[in-house]
Amino acid sequence: MAETHSAQPPVRFETHPSQYKHWKLTFDGPIARLAMDVQEEGGLRPGYPLKLNSYDLGVDIELADAVQRIRFEHPEVTCCVVSSAKDRVFCSGANIYMLGMSSHAFKVNFCKFTNETRLGFEELSRESGVKFLCAINGPCAGGGYELALACDEVFLSDDGSSAVSLPEVPLLAVLPGTGGLTRLVDKRKVRRDIADVFCTLAEGIRGPRAQQYNLVDKVVPRSKFKDAVETRAKELAASSPRNTKWQGLAFAPLGAKYRDDGADYEYVTLSVDANARVAKLTVRAPNTDTPDNASAIRELGNELWALKCFRELDDALLNLRFNFETVGLVVLETEGDAEKVLSSDRALDKNRQDGFVHEVLLYQRRVLKRLDLGARSLFSLVREGSCFVGTLFELSLASDRTYMRDDPDAAVPPHVQLSVMNRGTFPMSNGLSRLETRFLSDPEKAKKLGASDDRFEPSDAVKAGLVTVAPDAIDWDDEVRLAIEERASLSPDALTGMEASLRFAGPETLESKIFARLSAWQNWIFTRPNATGPRGALTMYGRPERPEFDWRRT
């Protein structure tokens, strides 16, 4: 199963329940049901059957979409039951043959996207009150159990065959790649020695022992399983604090125009220079002020800039991640009326208790996290006509560097400006705002700047620490060009490690552990011969021969 690097059709991330191949999404009042029914021949790419509810990226794209539908289209939902539509099979995890034939970059990005989707479960529970109950009715292995771990509660059928396992280490010489190890000990607080036994036991653990070890919350005889799940789902739904007093919004298609070198949307443009390995991502301000009352905001629906722009940005980031693997640097720019961005910020802040506005703000948070977690260098360029203010200033704060053109002769001199949205509305994976992370050594400065509505022109922005450097108009073109060329010339591996280490200063959270510690180890293991070499465990899986290991511990 050698890696393939042949040209593949681009991956697209928009879908709809009417187009799902692998999930059945149904609604019964406050309870949503997500039943996994993976079609063996429905893989995203040819060459591997998706047996035993194993999944690939296409399965997870549908799952991510379903969670978004619950968020925005069904505010009445307060509990979601995750189950399998197949008898005596829950999920065997990520499809091993798909992993074996995928490029290294695709494997890592697949794990990253799947991680983001699982974290979406937990955010929907924590921030919106939609509780997740996983009903395991058969073998539940690897990524299948990681899906269960992302839920609030896990019920296991006691039928002699249903079991939970994380068999990646003994079977494939890799790790559970979507947060399994971290959730086991940090979230479920399984004892380290028990977790050690569990993670090296390929066949997993079933029955009462699974509950004893806190691997599941409840074990129920098969004859009573359906009723027990139904009863608990109703209890969870009834106890939810979710604001259900708003009308759901059905997502409209984005209408993106994809090009071989990028994509065009209403508020976002992605342009890729493949030879230079540089992408330019331009985000535009709204064309009009945002109304300041909740009913008018809801009436805008799909046309609300704060939602539409960030849906477009999310699609562009995923397009960039999966379809332009060699791009090393993303140049972020903004265009438009800065006051229109601030108008949006004020309106959303005033109405943040509204259920729809609440979900819009959470969505913006998730998209900005997607930007943080991309394995690309990020440079922001602030110049005349830019609107790096408020919510869009988060793009600059997320960047590895920000260059601001010092051009006093410009008709409208460049400036940056903070708003209420920079005061903690969009925390990073470390639990801090980007402003707090930037000024980790001086929390009072972060508070003072966050409370300011002042406009910062170039020299003041540099002094305040809000931008990296402000070249004058004479030096601007050369300095920016040289910085871009230098960055694109450096090792992508070293840069990815450097950026991930520098971006997330401060405390460590379950989320930062998953993306930093776990993802870094998995990234490394995926390149090692013990997993993916000619006779590595992942390569040899399904063959009669045993894998061959390099026994040196490093």
Between the CA of residue 86 and those of 32, 40, 53, 91, 138, what are the distances in Å? 18, 12, 8, 9, 9
Local confidence band at 503 (pLDDT 50, 70, 90 cut-offs)? very high
In tens, the pLDDT along 74-110 reads 999 999 999 999 999 999 999 999 998 999 999 999 9
Residue boundaries of the structural domains of the chain = 17-238, 257-500
Q: How far apart are CA 431 and CA 412, in angstroms?
A: 36
Q: Which helix (H) or strand (E) holds 235?
A: helix 222-238
Residues 281, 270 contacting (CB under 8 angstroms): yes
For domain 17-238, the question of CATH label 3.90.25.10 is answered with no
Does 2 score more than 80 pLDDT? no
Q: How far apart are CA 39 and CA 9, in angstroms?
A: 20
DSSP letters along 152-203, please? SEEEEEESSS-EEE--HHHHHSS--TTTHHHIIIIIS---HHHHHHHHT-TT
Evaluate whether 17-238 and 257-500 have a shared fold: yes
CATH fold for the domain made of 257-500: 2-enoyl-CoA Hydratase; Chain A, domain 1 (3.90.226)
Q: What is the pLDDT of residue 3?
A: 42
Q: Which of 50, 229, 204 is nearest to 134 (CA)?
A: 229
Residues 363, 530 contacting (CB under 8 angstroms): no
Which residues neighbour 46 within 8 Å (Cβ) at sequence distance 6 or greater?
Answer: none
| Beta-bridge partner residues of 31 | 28, 79
Mean pLDDT of the chain: 95
Local confidence band at 177 (pLDDT 50, 70, 90 cut-offs)? confident
Q: What percent of the chain has pLDDT over 90?
A: 89
Does 248 score more than 60 pLDDT? yes
Local confidence band at 461 (pLDDT 50, 70, 90 cut-offs)? very high
Q: What is the pLDDT of residue 225?
A: 98
- 3-state class (DSSP) for residue 541: coil
Local confidence band at 416 (pLDDT 50, 70, 90 cut-offs)? very high
Q: What is the pLDDT of residue 7?
A: 62
In tens, the pLDDT along 305-341 reads 999 999 999 999 999 999 999 999 999 999 999 999 9
Does 522 score more than 90 pLDDT? no
Q: What tokens were used for 487?
A: 């960055």
Q: What percent of the chain has pLDDT over 70?
A: 99
SS (H, E, C) 217-231: CEEEEHHHHHHHHHH
Q: Which of 215, 341, 451 is nearest to 443 (CA)?
A: 451
**From 119-123, 246-250, 542-546, the region with the lowest mean pLDDT:** 542-546
280-294 mean pLDDT: 97
Q: What is the pLDDT of residue 515?
A: 87
Which residues neighbour 27 within 8 Å (Cβ) at sequence distance 6 or greater?
Answer: 33, 74, 76, 77
In tens, the pLDDT along 355-409 reads 999 999 999 999 999 999 999 999 999 999 999 999 999 999 999 999 999 998 8
202-213 mean pLDDT: 96
Q: What is the pLDDT of residue 302?
A: 97
Local confidence band at 517 (pLDDT 50, 70, 90 cut-offs)? confident
Strand 153-158 with 218-221, pairing: parallel
Q: What is the pLDDT of residue 4?
A: 40
pTM: 0.96
